[in-house]
Structure 1
């Protein structure tokens, strides 16, 4: 019998990119869900659509039980509990998600022992950042005898090809200070502070990046215990979007940016703006994991010397790249190449050789070198 994959929130740009990758690289039947009927959507022979709200627990339980793999793409994950993961563990069904907020990651990781006992492989944070970026870090850390510092920078052009949900995620990430592992201790950091100007590969050029609350800030220190600092910074091009986001984070009244109405207003306006400017800026993404005087980095001790290693990935569509990140792991689980019961982050679960093979099969070139 063919594998059956359930993609919750599969009609959005991220979910549909995940579905496209799975349909391309596996023979699985894919069920995508949304809260309303699909309009004029050509699903193809191996795809079906199901109206489903996550609050419909009995219906959700039934469709999970008939699946081999569940992929949770119904963000923003700031608002989500771990109920889908719990239902998958109870049904003995493997699980992935594209979660991108530490609050959700923390909730999910608490179910590690339950997933081990159920024989369920569950992997969170599987998109592009977090996701592919975490695997890039694992690759870079493995080059060292002792890795000491990780610095990740993400730059997105315009909307990145993603939908309004990703806009909501951005503004939700500005609401509160967060803790980051810096110089061997947890320190409080304000979002969208300490700008760094980094020269990214063509066609992006120089771009500004700022502290941003990402799950990697929390999970990478746990995965790589010798590391003393983990820095995650995010920025946009054109650069005026950075300045607008900075204003939202630091000038707007806190009660407004922390209200659902305020977030929805900013997300809607930003989505309309980026949809217009995408035709000029493109919708690509660039991720860097490296060390240079003021750039993102992995540094450490190699053969008794302090050394620096750099990895860079660029793609012309952020949503598609996210689909590659999640689709890669889905393919490996469905084929049996990845079987690791428990709840894991991408950097903990995915071996570098499997990651490298999967990226090559999708035409993704990751440039890596000593600096």
Structure 2
């Protein structure tokens, strides 16, 4: 379908950024944030143009530049042509889950000479993304995967604190959203795709098999989050950080649900996949997402993330740093979007120029993240040797 201008023509020539899934849970937050930038024009894209148009109308009073919409099917054979006629110079792909996707969107962007960012947290997807590197360099395209909480934000935290260590030996970290925060089927499906199944984790200086959504345990977050259940999660960091930080002996990542009966219910279901009664729980993502929405008003809108770094400092003494991120007032869902927002602003300003395909590791600083979230109810707390 033709590209539709949702507002009057602006005399300036802002940088056009197309957001695939721009009306979805994460895409909407990226759209509303970038639409407030004077040098950026947002194109809201997705398979449901009516939803895109509704969001464009909703944001028309706050958007500085005209909002546009585009009906776009990511599995279409002519997606490269559709992207070309969109006039976009950068595409942000938010339509997960990425665990079951190929690289057709990224390849289409590269073919069209359009820069590309995605929010992928699928381990195999992010690990294999460098296969596009030569193609992206030949086309002078910046292509970035994993611009989200992991590995984008998690790598920024490590880069910020690693100089405090003579030897960084262990990473333990996790994410626990509030139950009242928005959730989509794609997020649920991503978690279900590995629940109960084996994946490799670097632990005690060797690769070991662990099971998704098992090893469930309690973790104490700072107030007002408090104690939350956490369980094993498979993420790109488990491979990327083992390669980037060769001194690491163990890398463990966890995630959890605020309501005990939801978290422990999924833990129980994971045994159906573990013992092969069900091949993969992801096929039940729709009914399980529906069940979770029925109880969405329970619990709180407070969530967080923590990262514990352990090792030896420059005095040859044990060093432990625990970085905590606390999100209140329902602002937690913004956190996975911040990496893509920071990178999009950098590309639009010409501040990120290295072409090629790579994971979002060390591409922005913790200071940049802190500045970006200062208008939301998101704050940090750091404990050292405590």
TM-score computed with the length of structure 2 as normaliser: 0.85
Shift of 1:138: 2.5
Partner residue, 2:288: 270
Equivalence for 2:354:
340
User: Deviation per CA, 1:123-156, whole angstroms, max 9, x where unpaired?
Assistant: 2111224432332232232332321111111112
Equivalent residue, structure 1, for 2:83: 63
Alignment of 1:24-39 (within 5 A): 24-25=36-37, 27-39=39-51
- Determine whether 1:243 maps to 2:264: yes
Counterpart of 2:297 (choices 257, 279, 302) is: 279
5 Å-filtered alignment, 1:69-218, equals 69-158=90-179, 160-174=181-195, 176-218=197-239
Larger RCO (alpha carbons 8 Å, 6+ apart): 1
Deviations 1:150-187 (A, max 9, x none): 11111122263121211111111215311111122221
Are the equivalent residues in 1 in contact too, given 2:218–2:230 (CA < 8 A)?
A: yes
CA contact 1:157–1:284 (8 Å) conserved in 2: yes
Distance 1:16 1:323, change over 3 A: same
Name which of structure 1's ranges 22-31 and 4-13 shifts more when overlaid on structure 2: 22-31
* 1:50 matched to 2:92: no
CA shift digits 1:48-103 (9 cap, x unpaired): 22111112232443424721111111111111111221222233322110101112
Q: Does 1:311 align with 2:328?
A: no
The answer (yes or no) to whether the contact 2:305–2:326 under 8 Å persists in 1 is: yes
Answer with 1 or 2: which has the greater Rg: 2
Cα separation, partners in 2 of 1:253 and 1:211, compared to 1, 3 Å: closer
Unaligned runs of 5+ in 2: 1-12
Distance 1:256 1:325, change over 3 A: farther
For each residue in 1:218-269, what CA deviation from the matched residue of structure 2 results, as whole angstroms up to 9, or x when unmatched?
212122222121111111111221111111111467556435xx5343x233
Does structure 2 retain, via aligned residues, the 8 Å contact 1:161–1:318?
no
Q: How many residues align?
A: 362
TM-score in terms of structure 1 length: 0.88
Q: Cα distance 1:272–1:282, how it changes in 2: closer, same or farther (>3 A)?
A: farther
CA contact (8 A) 2:331 2:376 kept: no
Write the deviation string for residues 297-355 of structure 1: whole angstroms up to 9, x where unpaired: 44343332220111111223332222223212211221222333222222232244444
Is this contact kept in 2: 1:28–1:46, CA < 8 A? no
Structural RMSD (CA): 2.4
| CA drift at 1:361 | 6.5
Gaps spanning 5+ residues in structure 1: where? 291-296
Aligned to 1:358: 372
- CA shift, 1:213, in A, is 0.6
